[in-house]
């Protein structure tokens, strides 16, 4: 597999993390670099780590993971998206920082990297340099996650509540898209 092909795979795998990062940036009043870097490191780390796990397991456990991976991703993204919408619609003023909890970061990182696990299983059957692949996937996801927060923040500063609602809806729709694709209802 060529470097260009690996890079395109890295970009494709990082799109969910990019979208989630945009959504998180929408809810920030100002850029919180600590939160941004934590998100980017978690997303990049999980996107890089999941293919290694998939590669190491090969197809031995594919029968166990594949039937439910889409349900897991959907459930996690719908939960986070629903919380974003609920928080935006609540009358409570959020005086806390724009930081996200470690639990939320981990849930989002797992939810956006499940497809990378499957890609790792595919890498096991191909003649792919796994270490170059995961490094490229991790760095690409890290960079696109930072860019996503910045893009989301620029838009969200003007339209915070509607943006947070839109962000929550987007997360739910991403989860629904994953679910429908894996069920064979939606083919893209």
Residue 170: closest CA among 32, 44, 17: 17
pTM score of the predicted model:
0.71
pLDDT value of residue 92:
61
Domain assignments of the chain as residue spans, ordered by start: 3-89+97-182
Please state, in angstroms and rounded to a whole number, the distance separating the CA atoms of residues 156 and 24: 9
pLDDT value of residue 100:
72
Check residue 95 and give its pLDDT: 40
The token duo for 8 is 């395109």
Instruction: Name every residue whose Cβ is closer than 8 Å to that of residue 183 and which is 6 or more positions away in sequence.
Output: 70
As given in the structure block, the two tokens for residue 66 are 């594949």
For residue 25, the tally of other CB atoms under 10 A from its CB is 29
Residues 112, 47: contact at Cβ < 8 Å? yes
pLDDT at 150: 93
Mean pLDDT of each 10-residue bin along the chain, 188 residues long:
83 86 84 92 96 82 71 75 77 53 88 83 78 95 95 75 72 80 80
Per-residue confidence (pLDDT) for residue 96, from 0 to 100: 40
* H helical segments located in the chain: 3-26, 33-57, 62-65, 69-89, 102-125, 130-156, 160-182
Its sign, for the CA torsion 139, 145, 146, 151, is positive
What's the pLDDT at 61? 67
């Amino acid at each position: 597999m060529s470097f260009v092909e690996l890079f395109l795979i890295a970009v494709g795998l990082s799109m969910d993390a990019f979208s989630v990062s945009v959504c998180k940036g929408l809810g920030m009043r100002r850029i919180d670099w600590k939160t941004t870097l934590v998100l980017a490191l978690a997303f990049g780390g999980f996107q890089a780590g999941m293919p290694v796990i998939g590669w190491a397991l090969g197809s031995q456990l594919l029968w166990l993971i594949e039937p439910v991976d889409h349900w897991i991703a959907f459930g996690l993204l719908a939960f986070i998206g629903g919380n974003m919408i609920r928080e935006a619609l609540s009358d409570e003023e959020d005086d806390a920082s724009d930081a996200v909890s470690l639990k939320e970061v981990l849930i989002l990182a797992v939810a956006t990297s499940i497809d990378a696990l499957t890609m790792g299983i595919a890498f096991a059957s191909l003649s792919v340099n796994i270490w170059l692949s995961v490094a490229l996937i991790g760095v690409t996801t890290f960079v696109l996650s930072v860019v996503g927060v910045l893009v989301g923040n620029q838009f969200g500063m003007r339209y915070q509540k509607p943006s947070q609602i839109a962000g929550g809806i987007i997360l739910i729709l991403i989860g629904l898209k994953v679910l429908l694709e894996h069920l064979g209802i939606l083919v893209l």
